[in-house]
């Protein structure tokens, strides 16, 4: 199996973004704009880029295994986990089904929620043609229950930083539910933001991932800071 030869810049870039790697797992800071898995666009996906990187770095003959554990939307950044063995992928998939992968996001929103923390539990329906999800009434055919917790962290002059604990993994769930709450994410035109970000990203970042290592059985806690202009010095008002 032959893989594309990466440029020195691509290699340095990937190396700077790897958050954790061992024989079984690889976690990377996904950039906004990258796709995790191949899609109809035909653009090279992060999984294939990582295969090429490992093949070149390790001088591996034959096929490199990279299994997609979970996906992040194209305009979203942050912690993205891959399996390097089929055994690890199988166990991680089971953990995902059992809600044993704990995902926390940071979202920079256009409005501050009325309550500083809350639990959202709503039914979401995906419109395939529009590639968009909507909050609908319970009982609608094909609607799925979506659950998350949110917590207000701080504000800048114009935007408001929320921490979101994702409890289910529905299509565009955080984007849809925060928009329905009246707090669209900065840059997310599809869900009600007034303007786009110059690079096409949205200000939603997979900040932390916690789980038990599928082979070593150790607790894993992987965190990656958001790439936006510094909100850490912003006020709490």
- Domain residue spans in the chain? 8-223
- Residue 45 CA to residue 48 CA, distance in Å, equals 5
Q: Is the pTM of this model over 0.85?
A: yes
- Residue 33 CA to residue 188 CA, distance in Å, equals 13
Asked if 213 and 92 count as a contact pair (C-beta separation under 8 A), the reply is: no
pLDDT tens-place values along the chain, 237 residues long: 789 999 999 999 999 999 999 999 999 999 999 999 988 788 899 999 999 999 999 997 889 999 999 999 999 999 999 999 999 999 999 999 999 999 999 999 999 999 999 999 999 999 999 999 999 999 899 999 999 999 999 999 999 999 999 999 999 999 999 999 999 999 999 999 999 999 999 999 999 999 999 999 999 999 999 988 654 433 333
Q: In what helix (H) or strand (E) does residue 91 lie, and over which residues does it extend?
A: helix 86-97
Q: In what helix (H) or strand (E) does residue 161 lie, and over which residues does it extend?
A: strand 160-166
| 8-223 is classed CATH 3.30.2350.10 | yes
Asked if 121 and 164 count as a contact pair (C-beta separation under 8 A), the reply is: no
The residues that are catalytic are 73
């Amino acid at each position: 199996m032959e893989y594309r030869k990466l440029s020195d810049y691509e290699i340095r870039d990937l190396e700077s973004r790897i958050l954790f790697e061992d024989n079984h797992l690889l976690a990377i800071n996904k950039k906004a704009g990258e796709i995790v898995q191949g899609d109809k666009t035909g653009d090279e996906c992060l999984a294939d880029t990582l295969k090429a990187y490992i093949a070149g770095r390790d001088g591996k003959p034959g096929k490199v295994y990279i299994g997609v554990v979970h996906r992040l939307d194209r305009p979203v950044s942050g912690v993205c986990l891959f399996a390097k063995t089929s055994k690890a992928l199988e166990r991680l998939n089971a953990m995902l089904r059992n809600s044993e992968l704990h995902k926390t996001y940071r979202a920079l929103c256009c409005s501050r929620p009325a309550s500083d923390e809350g639990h959202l539990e709503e039914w979401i329906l995906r419109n395939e043609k529009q590639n968009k999800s909507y909050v609908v009434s319970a009982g609608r055919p094909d609607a799925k229950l979506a659950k998350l917790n949110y917590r207000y962290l701080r504000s800048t002059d114009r935007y408001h930083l929320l921490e979101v604990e994702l409890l289910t993994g529905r299509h565009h769930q955080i984007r849809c539910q925060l928009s329905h709450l009246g707090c669209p994410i900065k840059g997310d035109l599809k869900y009600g933001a007034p303007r786009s970000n110059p690079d096409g990203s949205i200000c939603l970042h997979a900040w932390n991932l916690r789980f038990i290592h599928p082979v070593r059985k150790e607790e894993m806690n992987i965190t990656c800071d958001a790439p936006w202009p510094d909100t850490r010095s912003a006020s709490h008002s």
